Chain A
Amino acid sequence: MEWLIGLQALLQATVRMAAPLTFTAVGETYGERAGVINIGLEGLMLIGAVTAYAVAFASGNVWLGVFAAGLAAATFGVLFGVVTITLGANQIVAGAALNLIGLGLSSFIYRAFFGSVTNRAIQPLETVKIPLLNQIPVVGPVLFEQNLLVYAALLLAPLAALVLNRTMLGLALRSVGEHPKATATAGLSVIGLRYAAVAFGGMMAGIGGAYLSVAYANQFVENMVAGRGFIALAIVVFGRWSPLGALWASLLFGFTFALQLRLQAQSIPIAYQFLQILPYVATIVAMILLRGQSAQPKALGVPYTERT
């Protein structure tokens, strides 16, 4: 039985670790389906993390923090849109700039306003058990004894898939990343759709970052996103540009994180660094295995100009 409890704890941690990745990767999936690649997710998540922490700390309300984080990161997403969509600047470069700004800004805000605060912890987000369902062995505690943000992440992916595949909006998003000009001549605004997508992507990255500070660590630590923004980028590829694919990939990556922490804690004689690099190696391997049948949107990274 002990191994079962171990497994249960491991899977529970997996889901917890996957949640911030899911938010960010689903958001980025939308952005990329619309044709905009944002490698600045790391910076956006940091902005979300620090905003959520600061607002939650000041107001005492964690949810207000999460909301503010989504709003702040969405704003930066829109600014990224101004540079890349309206001005048509290179998306990779603008994303790199966004990472630097997010890294600097988050640590600046934290040091400037919380440098002298001694007790910096905030109320942790409570676990909400879902009655009956949490009684199911193993699955119950793993899926139904989590905080609300985890539930939100788990619901976000299928919802996002539904919108993408089964609504006129989803149809428009899928076309604009594939063939923007066809989308424009059909009577839609390429610019508008792309702005909506990057704003949504920003908001999701912000909430993903908020999760780290208010639901996971209960505090802000400089550079606490620790590469998750880049992992989310890999997850989008790994999940083949579909929201549900992103969920599965997030869970896979969450699992390697959870396993790595567990092994580290139990001082198992495997160098933990190898587990640390596992997700990155897995991404490359997956890219190799799935090559050729790429689902990458055709117009990804290509600025759209209305000049004909």
Chain B
Amino acid sequence: MTEQTPRLRLAGISKHFGAVQANNDIALEVAPGEIHCLLGENGAGKSTLMNILYGLVRPDAGAIFLDGKPATIRSPHQAIELGIGMVHQHFMLVPTLTVAENVILATRPLLSLRRLGESVIRDRRAIERQVGEVAQRYGLKIDPAARVSALSVGEQQRVEIVKALYRGVKLLILDEPTAVLTPQETSDLFKTLRDFTAAGLSIILITHKLHEVMAISDRVTVLRDGKVVGRRVTRQTDTHELAELMVGRDVRLTVEKRAAQPGAPALVVEALTVLGAHGRRLLDQLSLQVAAGEVLGVAGVDGNGQRELALAITGILRPDSGSITVEGKALTGAMPRQIADASVRHIPEDRQQMGLILDFSAADNFVLKQFSRLPFTRRGLLQPATILAHAQRLIRAFDVRTPSPALPVANLSGGNQQKVVLGREIDSNPRVLVAAQPTRGLDVGATEYVHKALIAQRDAGAAILLISTELEEVLALSDRIVVLYEGRIVGEVPGDRANTQKIGLMMAGVQAALQPVERWGTNTNEA
């Protein structure tokens, strides 16, 4: 395989953003017909590297060779011309357009009098047929006339792939393609990718999931802190070695904790239903209980109702039916403020959008939920000195690295921003804490800090509902685990006896569990 001219060769690619060296002298080779995994943690520089390759980011230094020829790629347009296609983690599809329209976008001259025939769309049906044929040729089931907004996430991903194929792609980049898929859909995708490579296509798969690397790739390049820390032929390595390379030490995510001392149920959710657009059940008769002093982990693939569950419990979303009780007090349909008064705290999944006012200082963000109360407001006026003192105390207590409490939190790192949220939410020793994706996008150190803080709250007697799509995290922290699938709880396992496979099956829904995860293993052997 390596004797051939590589489809892609990257040499000495470097890129910095401000003081951060996102890519540092990176070299990479991908052979024709190869599936090459780019493995690394969040922030390791994988996306930057691929954005450089796709012309979205300019490198500071380095060279790109395609089929042995040097290439300069200044825009996605040039990347596409050179046969590079990319399936972004957040799909780049226009929801109001049809599948066919999304696929043919920018594939012909916009408005050219000399080539008017190509600029004008005379027959929509013909185009839909064309797109349908491309999809069919690669075994991708898709309705070209459907509006993208009406498609499921898995279908949208197929549209993205068809978009690349329609443009005659030779090198396909997929950025965390399985983050939004069920195990079933994932194995379908992997099968499809195998078919592509049989036809000579090269594939780069960006991921941070070790089992995927083992299941699908031929070779793997590991990035850490913007540098290549290892290259392996997949068959000659194992998850343990890759994990060490990726993190720089043994990763088995473990959090030191004592056995839980669960008390009385603190949060009781009964038959909670939340309806979405077109009457779709985002939460469907969902029931769960969290006792004081325990962590209940909610596992599941993103988009199965995690968001709605957290928002309904904290009063931001009004449930359509069902009940929510906190320490015996009925709080169904209460205002967010009332729920907060019942000592329910919330670490929202998107801290920048929901958790913080980025233009406000850390001090103001710390009092975001209490600013109108004593002692922060007296006689109708805010008390800046009190607010500042409060901030200084929390900055010390939660080790927030900021030069000044008056600095807008937009200037802080993700980890420090999360500490501000954490400080605000758990300073008052809550009875119930809803933690949604609490470590998303954080580095290892910050993640560890957050995990320790959550366990400390548990030991202090709080009932903790941990909603996370990171299975590792759920496994490491939870005393009990429930699995969320299409708005329902489809299974429960005690934390200590839980294993990845069993939960993985449940994450795919009870029926889909027949398509076992183990099959991925066979794929590896074929490769």
Contacts and interface: CB of A to CB of B under 8 A. Distances in A.
A90 interface: no
A166 B76 CA distance: 24
B92 A188 contact: no
A174 B96 contact: yes
Interface stretch (A10-18, A179-187, A217-225, A266-274): A179-187
A187 B120 contact: no
Interface string B70-106: 0000011101110000101001111111000110111
Contacts of A174: 94, 96-97
B119 interface: yes
Given A187-B75, A308-B56, A168 B109 contact: yes
The 6 nearest A-B residue pairs measured at CB: A187-B77, A182-B92, A169-B111, A169-B110, A186-B106, A185-B92
Interface string A159-199: 00001001111011011001101111111110000000000
A186 B76 contact: yes
Given A187-B75, A187-B79, 6 more contacts: A163-B111, A183-B106, A186-B92, A186-B106, A187-B77, A189-B77
B57 A172 contact: no
A168 B121 contact: yes
A175 B56 CA distance: 18
**What does DSSP make chain A's interface, helix, strand, loop or mixed?**
helix
A187 B103 CA distance: 12
A109 B121 CA distance: 45
B77 A171 contact: no
B105 A308 contact: no
Given A185-B76, A187-B80, A167 B121 contact: yes
A276 to B, nearest CB: 36
Contact of A171 (B51, B75, B76, B121): B121
Contacts of A171: 97, 101, 104-105, 121
Contacts of A185: 54, 56, 76, 86, 88, 92
Nearest to B108: A168
13 contacts: A168-B120, A169-B119, A172-B106, A174-B97, A178-B96, A182-B91, A182-B102, A183-B106, A185-B92, A186-B105, A186-B163, A188-B105, A306-B56
B57 A308 contact: yes
Contact of B119 (A168, A175, A186, A188): A168
Contacts of B133: none
A185 B163 CA distance: 11
Contacts of B81: 187
Contacts of A169: 110-111, 119
B472 interface: no
Contact of B111 (A168, A178, A188, A189): A168
A12 B156 CA distance: 50
B97 A175 contact: yes
